[in-house]
Chain A
Amino acid sequence: MSNFKKLISIIAPMIIALLLAVLVLYGPFCLPKSEPATVEKAATSLSANVLRGEQLKDQALDSGYLMIMGSSELLRFDSFHPSVLTHKYQRGYQPFLLGSAGTQSLTHFFSAQAMGKHLNHKRVVVIISPQWFVKKGVDKNMFDYYYSKQQATHFIRHANPHSEADRYAAQRLLSMPSGRGDEVIESSLKNIASGQKISANQKFLVNDLKSPNLSHQDQLFTRFFIKDRRSKIDEQSRVLPNKYNQQQLNWIAGNLGKEHSTNNSFQIDNRFYDRQLKHALPGLMNSQQNYTYEYGPEFSDFQLLLNQFKKHNVTPLFVIPPINSKWMVYTGLRQSMLNDFDKKITYQLKTQGFDKIVDLHTDGDVPYFMQDTIHLGWRGWVKVDQELNRFVKQKQPQRVHYHLRDYFYTKDWQQRVPATIKKY
């Protein structure tokens, strides 16, 4: 064989490999959708890559799943968890859980804005944890963990530099290490944050190179790394009676709660108590006396999410969970502070026309309402499920009327003392 032929036989496979790789990563096509079973698996996976991705969520929205945005409480899969109850009783809807420990408003905003038009006229449930609203706002490490470049490019492609919301979002993303991790994304965000359009060059790099590559990666890989909890959910649903009965469920929830919280006086689930609390207990006494959930950037981050709901005519239901009262007494967390937080967030919601709120912030003393210190469980989930059911059954208005105010993006609002707010 001549040297030239040898050379060709060496190079040809590499060139083909290169072309195939470029085609798969940048080609102008969509890879096939996932099986419905994969979407079902993703609905209760709470896997970070599902949150970061796009295709699976869009598919779920299109096939009628009810998005539930929240954080660590979604991981508490007892028998009364919304995913378990809808699995047992055909309720006409199926939740798609979005979030995990450490997801807060900003993560949910970027995830929701990437859903784009798939969100149009949908119902969405948001479980607002008071714990999100610490002074410093979302933990940068946590935000980075759930950060998705794909969502960032989606944001850049659709951002309007004249909108206060988009400028604020860009500036928030720039304050996170992940937002500064990629030169093109960083420089584009800087443009948007300063009220300028992105340059033609940035547009090309983001629209034509990054975006197709990232969405192809999502379409190729997200479906393979999903935690499967379906058998666990099925197992949890077996203790439930075959026929749905509200009072009976509430009664069983109370009993199960009693059974599972025998080794402590806080009505906290035994396993959680053993693993997470027992050792640290003495140090935690009166440790939360100075905690406050009344100030900080989270209020403006949350406003971004509301803005997204308005854009797509979404009807959201907000759930404000309580904190275990016995635990509050022990750690010195003040109910009055919690009331003030509730007043501030309720004001932000209601003045702008978001009036579907399940406000449970005073229910922390209902026995077996909370599974542990801050997470809903047993009777808490039963209550939430009732409200979800009612929400889904309600007739949805053709057009929703929200009137959003840029004031909620200001430092002024973040630092506003709840006592100066009129009850709305």
Chain B
Amino acid sequence: MPNVQPYQNPQYFIWLLFALLPLMVGLYHGKRWRWYETLVSLVFLILIFDQDKLSQGIALICYTIIQVVIVAGYFHYRTKKDSPNQFWVFALAVFLSIIQVIVVKFTPLFCAGRDSIVAFLGISYLTFKTVGMLMEIRDGAIKEFSLSKFLHFLLFFPTLSSGPIDRYRRFTKDYEQVPDQSKYVELIGKGLHNIFLGFLYKFLLGYLFGTLWLPRLERLALMQRNGHFLGLSIYVIGVMYCYSMYLFFDFAGYSLFAVGTSYLMGIETPINFNKPFLAPNIKEFWNRWHMSLSFWFRDYIYMRFVFWAMKHKVLKSRVAMANIGYLLLFGLMGIWHGETWYYIVYGLFHACLIIGTDAWLRFKKKYRQSIPSNRWTKALGIFLTFNVVCFSFLIFSGFLDQLWFS
């Protein structure tokens, strides 16, 4: 069998079309053929993890077994009569479920850039899903657990490699039912629209910015670095905008594919991007950029930290608590991207931006009468946010590392 990475080239969609067509006919007639759905998922997983990716496939299988044991075990513990609901049991479950991803994330740091043998494509996204489940099991929000649903949720192939990160309860609700016919026709329409928009984003615009222009600008910037303060020639600005556009169109295109494919399968995976470059401030930006990830971090890291800190009265000032929460949240996200200075600086930079924005919003509220608010100030906000975000992506790209230290 050939090796096929998800959404890598237009031919992939021909494979996808052939595989999904029977499923779609079934859904259109009100039937969800689970055995066929399972078969398709299995084939596409094998296509991703066969040949030279076999060791990744084995890592995925082991990972899945371990996660099943942890989640099922914790569910059993938490739902038995008079469950003691000890914090340490919960903490242990979370720790066990993230340990593999921690090993994977830190291996390159300690083993001179080599990838870990327990790594596989999409490991972080799968871990996000199980950790979210553990938290909701602790909250008592997840009241039933089925092995087959869990496996379908965890290994849902359209979103396997980079999300969007769905939630167990939302997923199973879609999965258990078949959309009625007119609803499903609507889903097909939206799904195909997403996929075709994805073509425009990833294969045209992403290619233009990422493959045609970016390498050229980077070369020019590196050639001109001598004789400029910190090597910052005009081309570095070019790299900054070009990389930002590439990052957006490539990833948003990928997400559109994942969402579109899910729709065709009758699953309404949440969208991941909502015109992020039109955000009027940085907080709003994170509500529009890679939304499933930022909501995950907001719900499971930030909110939980703030509640915990409030309950234990760690600090008097709510503002200070929120700010520490931001630093924790974005610092963690930086480290999750990789243990290099530019990912961590990128994270902390965003934390500072949000803290600053919060302060400004409080100030604005206090002096509401004397600060104008109209479409011009809104446009200014969008302009500033866009440029600040692009600058943060320049940090994120690692190009400055190349410019200064190589």
Contact surface of A with B, Cβ cutoff 8 Å: 3, 6-7, 10-11, 14, 17, 279
- Asked if residues A7 and B226 are in contact (CB atoms below 8 Å), the reply is no
A109 to chain B, nearest CB (A): 24
Q: B227 and A3: CB pair below 8 A?
A: no
Are B227 and A11 in touch, CB under 8 angstroms? no
Instruction: Give the chain B neighbours of A14 by CB distance below 8 A.
Output: 192, 196
**Which are the 10 A-B pairs with shortest beta-carbon distances?**
A10-B189, A3-B181, A6-B185, A3-B185, A7-B185, A3-B182, A14-B192, A10-B188, A10-B192, A279-B226
CA distance A279 to B224 in the complex (A): 12
| Contact with B28, one of A7, A17, A279 (Cβ below 8 angstroms) | A7
A3: B residues at CB distance < 8 A: 181-182, 185
The one of B181, B182, B185, B226 in contact with A10, judged by C-beta atoms closer than 8 angstroms, is B185
Q: Is A279 touching B196 in the complex (CB atoms < 8 A)?
A: no
A-B contacts, 20 of them at CB < 8 A, read A3-B181, A3-B182, A3-B185, A6-B182, A6-B185, A6-B189, A7-B28, A7-B185, A7-B188, A10-B185, A10-B188, A10-B189, A10-B192, A11-B188, A11-B192, A14-B192, A14-B196, A17-B196, A279-B226, A279-B227
B contact residues around A279 at 8 Å (CB): 226-227
Task: Determine how close the nearest CB of chain B comes to the CB of A224; give it in whole angstroms.
Answer: 12
Query: What is the bound-complex CA distance between A260 and B284, given in angstroms?
Result: 57
B8 to chain A, nearest CB (A): 12
Report the nearest A residue to B2, measured CB to CB.
A183
Interface centre among A6, A17, A279 (most CB of B within 10 A): A6
Min CB gap A9→B, angstroms? 9
Smallest CB separation, A6 vs chain B (Å): 5
- Size class of B's contact patch? 10 to 19
Q: How far is the CA of A106 from the CA of B189 in the complex (A)?
A: 50
- Further pairs besides A14-B192, A17-B196: 13, Cβ < 8 Å: A3-B182, A6-B182, A6-B185, A6-B189, A7-B28, A7-B185, A10-B185, A10-B189, A10-B192, A11-B188, A11-B192, A14-B196, A279-B226
> Which residues of the other chain, A, contact B226 by a CB distance below 8 angstroms?
279
CB of B281, distance to nearest CB on chain A (Å): 37
Chain A CB count within 10 A is highest, among B185, B188, B189, B192, for B185
Per the bound structure, the CA–CA distance linking A6 and B192 in Å amounts to 13
- Which residues of chain A are near B188, meaning CB under 8 Å? 7, 10-11
Q: Which residues of B contact A11 (CB under 8 A)?
A: 188, 192
Q: Nearest A residue to B196 by beta-carbon distance?
A: A14
Chain B residues whose C-beta falls within 8 Å of the C-beta of A10 in the assembled complex: 185, 188-189, 192
- Taking the closest CB of chain A, its distance from the CB of B244, in whole angstroms, is 23
C-alpha spacing A279/B223, complex, angstroms: 13
Bound state CA distance, A218 and B226, in angstroms?
37
CA separation between A279 and B188, bound complex, in Å? 62
Q: CA of A52 to CA of B375 in the docked complex: distance in angstroms?
A: 49
Among B170-215, those with CB < 8 Å from A are 181-182, 185, 188-189, 192, 196
A23 to chain B, nearest CB (A): 15
Which B18-49 residues have a C-beta within 8 angstroms of A? 28
User: Complex formed: what's the CA distance from A140 to B151 in Å?
Assistant: 45
Chain A residues lying within 8 Å of B28, measured Cβ to Cβ, are 7
User: How many Å lie between the Cα of A117 and that of B115 in the bound state?
Assistant: 49
> How long is the Cα–Cα vector from A6 to B189 in the complex, in angstroms?
9
**CB nearest neighbor in A for B191:** A10
Q: How far does the alpha carbon of A17 sit from the alpha carbon of B182 in the complex, in Å?
A: 24
- B181 contact set on A, CB distance < 8 A: 3
CB distance from B233 to the nearest CB of A (A): 13
In Å, the complex CA distance between A11 and B192 comes to 8
Closest Cβ of chain B to A284, distance in Å, is 14
**Shortest distance in angstroms between A161's beta carbon and chain B's nearest beta carbon?**
25
Q: Which residues from chain A contact B182 at a C-beta distance below 8 Å? A: 3, 6
Whole-angstrom distance between the alpha carbons of A6 and B183 in the complex?
Answer: 11
B355 CB to nearest chain A CB (Å) = 43
Q: How far is the CB of A419 from chain B (nearest CB, A)?
A: 39
Contact partners of A7 in chain B: CB under 8 A: 28, 185, 188
* Residues in B212-254 with C-beta less than 8 Å from chain A: 226-227
What is the bound-complex CA distance between A371 and B185, given in angstroms? 69
**A136 → chain B, closest Cβ, in Å?**
20
Q: Which residue of chain B has its CB nearest to the CB of A7?
A: B185
A11 and B195 CA atoms in complex are apart in Å by 13
Roughly how many angstroms separate A151 CA and B96 CA in the complex, as a whole number? 53
Closest Cβ of chain B: how far from A177's Cβ, in Å?
14
- Nearest to B189 among chain A residues (CB) is A10
* Distance, CA A279 to CA B227, complexed state (A): 9
Q: Give the residue name and chain of the A residue nearest to B227 (CB).
A: A279
Complex alpha-carbon distance, A11 and B28, angstroms: 14
Query: Shortest CB–CB separation between residue B186 and chain A, in angstroms?
Result: 8
B253 to chain A, nearest CB (A): 17
Minimum Cβ distance to chain B for residue A413 (Å): 34
Per-residue interface assignment for chain B, residues 101 to 131, with 1 indicating a CB less than 8 Å from any chain A CB and 0 otherwise: 0000000000000000000000000000000
A residues less than 8 Å from B189 (CB atoms): 6, 10
- Complex alpha-carbon distance, A3 and B186, angstroms: 9
Q: Please report the C-alpha to C-alpha distance between residue A5 and residue B185 in the assembled complex, in whole angstroms.
A: 10
- Residue in A3, A11, A14, A279 whose Cβ sees the most chain B Cβ within 10 Å: A3
Give complex CA distance A7, B190 in Å: 11
